[in-house]
Structure 1
Amino acid sequence: MFLHVRKISSLAATTAALVTTVPYCLAQEVQLPFGTVQMDGDLPARSAIPGLFSQLDFQQATQAYLWALPLVAYAQWQKESVDKFGARTGDLVVYTTWKDKLGILTANATTPYILGFAELDKSGPLVIDMPAGPTAGGVGDFWQRAIVDMGQTGPDKGRGGRYLIIPPGAQAPANTQGYYVARSETNSVLLGFRVLEQDPAKAKAIVSQIKVYRYSERAHPAAGRFLTPGGTDWSGTQPDGMEYWQRLWEIIQREPVNERDRFYMAMLANLGVEKGKPFEPNTLQRKALQQGAAAGKLFAETNTFAKRFANVRHWPDRHWEYALFIADPSQRVANFDQLWERTAWFYEAVTDTKGMISTTPGLGQAYLGAYTDSGDAWLDGGKNYHLHIAPNPPAKQFWSLTVYDTATRRFVENARQKSDVSSREQLQKNADGSVDLYFGPQAPAGKESNWVQTVAGKHWFTYFRLYGPTEAYFDKNWKMSDIQPGD
């Protein structure tokens, strides 16, 4: 037993007096955020042990949920592509319509997407022929780290080129002359492109020239397959509950373990989600997984829609934030990997390339997100709002504003089947060239062209995208108002 003794020298203490301080280890109970723990001397009471292990498992599940968000998002999308569209490795799916893009997390509604998945452990080194033209995109691994950009922000700089993607652990072919060579750290990869050409015929011609084939078949590459969702309902949103862990278990069976993730894999193994073993969690593990998924989602929403990163606001006196706050597509900075910045972005969005965080005026894209109105209240689909966009938005190519449902992080599903406005449309402009936009269940009279319909009972958020952001964006000389409640 530990006892702190202090001798008292005073007139009142004619006899020795002892003042004792009872230490933590002798407390009968300990109050912690998750409840009261009964103690037995310097140890938890035996009766408290099951509850402490239950809490430990819950905390592990919560942290594993947040860690796995980018991996589960791609695994979900890949599964939907196979099950709903019949896609095979190397196939490209062309998403053109509002309905086809509806399943993509925070999709851009203005330009078409050409996206597909490849499994390098099955195909071996993969070749991608990228045509010349105004395109943006690249290849990313399943942790959503950019492997290589293609198009305007890639090494071909929009002139077109031939790319060679090497599987993890594999040797590069002896002759790689004429290729842009990049290596993946995961077996599964996403191939994603956007065509920025405004003319539909020219855009279609560019898409038709993209080729994906095995390096081993380079002498006589087979014609690639282009698919379309064709209006099929599908969802790239990470599933809830046990389905989240099922999807995670499925993908970790196929992927190598990165050194940086081994402790998380230990947490998952403790919960019955283990590489090389069946997914058969017991009753206590299932309880922890279900509670961890529910709490993890709340933490993810908080971390995404109320970001607490320093300097996350583009203008300090406005509510517009950098939606994508990852410093480098590797997700790595000097002394750590950006776990929380990664978690914020990949809960609400998918993919990350160098072009998406470009700091070169006139090149790449910029993403500003608004999650609250000017009074810092959540944006409510049953209320009316107004946004004033100052003249001359700093975009070399165009700008767009898209509205998303916070529950799904996908387009707001409204009766109009239109969730965005952009500078490529015929918008009503003010005399000085500024634009007023409106959001709400009903359009203000005569303002339909400048209105995005929201849905009562649902919260929403928005991205303001700048394609080819100019110097006025980076030096912040151009400024936009907050979203204001009211017409």
Structure 2
Amino acid sequence: MKMFNDKCLLLLLTFSVSFSANSSEAVQSLETRFGKIEMNSDLPSKSSINQLFEELDYQQATQTYLWALPLVSYAQWKNEFQQNLGAKNGDLMLLDSYEDKLGVLTANATTPYLLSFVDLNKTGPVIVDMPKGPTAGGIGDFWQRAVVDMGQTGPDKGNGGKYLLLPPGYEFTDDGSDYYVVQSETMNNLIGFRVLDPDPEQGKKLISSFNIYPYSKKSNPSEIKLLTPKGKAWSGTQPKGMHYWERLHQIIQEEPVNERDRFYMAMLASLGIEKNKPFNPTESQLKALKSGAEIGELIAKANTFAKRFPKARYWSDRQWDKVLQIDDPSQRVENYDQLWERSAWFYEAVTNTKGMMSSTPGLGQTYLGAYTDDKGQWLDGGKNYKLTVPANPPAKQFWSMTLYDIDTRTLIDNKQKKSDVSSRNELKENQDGSIDLYFGPAAPAGFESNWIQTIKGRHWFSYFRLYAPTEAYFDKSWKLNDIEVVN
């Protein structure tokens, strides 16, 4: 009987669909995700056309927001260095103190940074004179693709040397000099490195030996100008709202369009953002841009802090992610470019080099990120937490644990003026060699040296870094515990 009823139901459904398809009655409306669309038979009514285009523009704004994250990030950083901190093209900025690093997305709080933005539109090819010593760094284009590593993971292997950086399409005639010749796909580039030597005096020597100058002045290079923020507040976090699009429009004027980006440039043109044209969006374009930036950032937060990439979780029974999911600094795999992996990393962080994606024991760095506690709950600045780091962390150089503010993705700006602990600090150890680290508004008695202060009312996330990770990290024989709530 049941089989008979099922067959009757199937016949009725078939008849209903066929009848509807052949009916002369006009379909009155269609319910969609973005509201009711009035229909004129099988076409949208004239009154619904604007509604459909508004949805198209909103979708274009959301997608281009996510696509442009790495470009806007570097453009904002460069603008802050030059407009806020007084740097000129090619000047070197030293970020060493806690206060000076507060503007950098997910900065390493342990080692000094030396950074220079170079616009090849103004200089032509430039020479980078890299000193010999324990450093990690490189040259990156403005889509945050690695042009070349420098230092220990670069072709100089820590022995120093001269790098010649060429603009896109520039044809270089060998002049007999001993250069590492590299070519960027963008006119603007970030050149920088971190000093890994724990001796401050050796670090100063490395810094003083670094230089950048135009190739045209190779016979008489001037010394690089070294600046510091001197505690002045600045922010490399991507701007919000319309300021995001203004920064994107500004940097697009300075850069060639890569072939892979032409469809996105078409989307931007629909929104009033074009190369060689002023930024003057219409009222409807403004509406789409504002909504796209708002929802785009929400999606960026989900894409970053709740990664759904298949290989994101490093240990299957832990909450730690391998945060850098880009397979190659070029951001390119066999059949596509890693758009969503790129969006995730460059919403929360900046720069990408081969050394940051270490797969060789004893070389480079690796980054593990925790956005939740062991129960999968967001990390709350008003609660107290503990992380037990097992004995013998697999780092040939050192390890560090750093906390960041969710909203700014920069170091927590707490009263303690401290956002990390590392194996370079004097930490209290347990008898088995493990170390208990504490995070919360107030320090636990007796563990002040092992504590980082969090801020009530603000969420945070963390990076656990291993410098020169050893085999125990790669074969997963060493495993980091989760962050746990404590009373």
Q: Tell me the TM-score normalised to structure 1 length.
A: 0.95
Once residues 344 and 78 of structure 2 are traced to their aligned partners in structure 1, the CA distance between those partners, rounded to angstroms, is 21
Identity of aligned residues (%): 61
1:407–1:280: structure 2 CA closer, same or farther, 3 Å change rule?
Answer: same
The correspondence for 1:21, drawn from 19, 22, 28, is 19
Deviations 1:55-97 (A, max 9, x none): 1000000000000000000000000000122111111100000
Are residue 101 (structure 1) and residue 101 (structure 2) matched? yes
Once residues 30 and 300 of structure 1 are traced to their aligned partners in structure 2, the CA distance between those partners, rounded to angstroms, is 30
Once residues 84 and 270 of structure 2 are traced to their aligned partners in structure 1, the CA distance between those partners, rounded to angstroms, is 33
Displacement, 1:23? Answer: 3.8
Aligned to 1:395: 395
Tell me the secondary structure at the aligned position of residue 102 of structure 1.
helix
Displacement, 1:173? Answer: 3.2
1:176–1:76: structure 2 CA closer, same or farther, 3 Å change rule?
Answer: farther
Once residues 22 and 117 of structure 1 are traced to their aligned partners in structure 2, the CA distance between those partners, rounded to angstroms, is 64
Once residues 483 and 18 of structure 2 are traced to their aligned partners in structure 1, the CA distance between those partners, rounded to angstroms, is 61
Once residues 295 and 457 of structure 1 are traced to their aligned partners in structure 2, the CA distance between those partners, rounded to angstroms, is 22
Once residues 224 and 95 of structure 1 are traced to their aligned partners in structure 2, the CA distance between those partners, rounded to angstroms, is 16
Displacement, 1:347? Answer: 0.1
| Structure 1 residue ranges without an equivalent (≥5) | 1-9, 11-16
Once residues 88 and 23 of structure 1 are traced to their aligned partners in structure 2, the CA distance between those partners, rounded to angstroms, is 68
Aligned to 1:69: 69
Tell me the secondary structure at the aligned position of residue 398 of structure 1.
strand
Displacement, 1:27? Answer: 3.1
Displacement, 1:176? Answer: 5.2
Deviations 1:117-164 (A, max 9, x none): 000121011100101000000000000000000000000000111100
1:152-301 maps to which residues of 2 (within 5 A)? Answer: 152-175=152-175, 177-301=177-301
Q: State the AA in 2 paired with 1:230.
A: K
1:324–1:18: structure 2 CA closer, same or farther, 3 Å change rule?
Answer: closer
Moved more, 388-397 or 25-34: 25-34
Q: State the AA in 2 paired with 1:400.
A: S
Aligned to 1:359: 359
Moved more, 170-179 or 43-52: 170-179
Q: State the AA in 2 paired with 1:433.
A: G
Once residues 100 and 149 of structure 1 are traced to their aligned partners in structure 2, the CA distance between those partners, rounded to angstroms, is 24
1:18–1:116: structure 2 CA closer, same or farther, 3 Å change rule?
Answer: closer
Once residues 349 and 23 of structure 1 are traced to their aligned partners in structure 2, the CA distance between those partners, rounded to angstroms, is 53
Once residues 483 and 377 of structure 2 are traced to their aligned partners in structure 1, the CA distance between those partners, rounded to angstroms, is 10
1:414-425 maps to which residues of 2 (within 5 A)? Answer: 414-425=414-425
Q: State the AA in 1 paired with 2:377.
A: A
Displacement, 1:177? Answer: 3.5
1:446–1:45: structure 2 CA closer, same or farther, 3 Å change rule?
Answer: same
Once residues 28 and 424 of structure 2 are traced to their aligned partners in structure 1, the CA distance between those partners, rounded to angstroms, is 69
Once residues 155 and 326 of structure 1 are traced to their aligned partners in structure 2, the CA distance between those partners, rounded to angstroms, is 21
Once residues 117 and 392 of structure 2 are traced to their aligned partners in structure 1, the CA distance between those partners, rounded to angstroms, is 38
1:439-478 maps to which residues of 2 (within 5 A)? Answer: 439-478=439-478
Tell me the secondary structure at the aligned position of residue 253 of structure 2.
helix
Aligned to 2:127: 127
Displacement, 1:436? Answer: 0.3
1:87-98 maps to which residues of 2 (within 5 A)? Answer: 87-98=87-98
Tell me the secondary structure at the aligned position of residue 60 of structure 1.
helix
Once residues 176 and 258 of structure 2 are traced to their aligned partners in structure 1, the CA distance between those partners, rounded to angstroms, is 26
| Structure 2 residue ranges without an equivalent (≥5) | 1-7, 9-14
Q: State the AA in 2 paired with 1:471.
A: E
Q: State the AA in 1 paired with 2:426.
A: Q
Tell me the secondary structure at the aligned position of residue 189 of structure 2.
strand
Displacement, 1:20? Answer: 3.8
Displacement, 1:34? Answer: 1.4
Displacement, 1:33? Answer: 1.4
Deviations 1:270-326 (A, max 9, x none): 100110100000111001000000000000000000000002111011000011110
Tell me the secondary structure at the aligned position of residue 229 of structure 1.
coil
1:391–1:18: structure 2 CA closer, same or farther, 3 Å change rule?
Answer: closer
Once residues 428 and 173 of structure 1 are traced to their aligned partners in structure 2, the CA distance between those partners, rounded to angstroms, is 58
Displacement, 1:258? Answer: 0.2
- What is the aligned-residue RMSD (CA, Å)? 1.4
Tell me the matched-pair count: 472
1:289–1:389: structure 2 CA closer, same or farther, 3 Å change rule?
Answer: same
Tell me the secondary structure at the aligned position of residue 21 of structure 1.
helix
Aligned to 2:481: 481
Q: State the AA in 2 paired with 1:22.
A: S
Moved more, 84-93 or 148-157: 84-93
Displacement, 1:447? Answer: 0.8
Tell me the secondary structure at the aligned position of residue 240 of structure 1.
coil
Tell me the secondary structure at the aligned position of residue 254 of structure 1.
coil
Once residues 422 and 240 of structure 1 are traced to their aligned partners in structure 2, the CA distance between those partners, rounded to angstroms, is 33
Moved more, 271-280 or 164-173: 164-173
Once residues 313 and 130 of structure 2 are traced to their aligned partners in structure 1, the CA distance between those partners, rounded to angstroms, is 36
Displacement, 1:434? Answer: 0.6
Displacement, 1:167? Answer: 0.3
Aligned to 2:345: 345
Aligned to 1:60: 60
Q: State the AA in 1 paired with 2:375.
A: G
Aligned to 1:381: 381
Displacement, 1:223? Answer: 1.0
Aligned to 2:322: 322
Once residues 71 and 21 of structure 2 are traced to their aligned partners in structure 1, the CA distance between those partners, rounded to angstroms, is 46
Q: State the AA in 1 paired with 2:468.
A: G
Once residues 455 and 317 of structure 1 are traced to their aligned partners in structure 2, the CA distance between those partners, rounded to angstroms, is 28
Moved more, 23-32 or 332-341: 23-32
Displacement, 1:26? Answer: 5.0
Displacement, 1:174? Answer: 2.8
Tell me the secondary structure at the aligned position of residue 93 of structure 1.
strand
1:476–1:43: structure 2 CA closer, same or farther, 3 Å change rule?
Answer: same
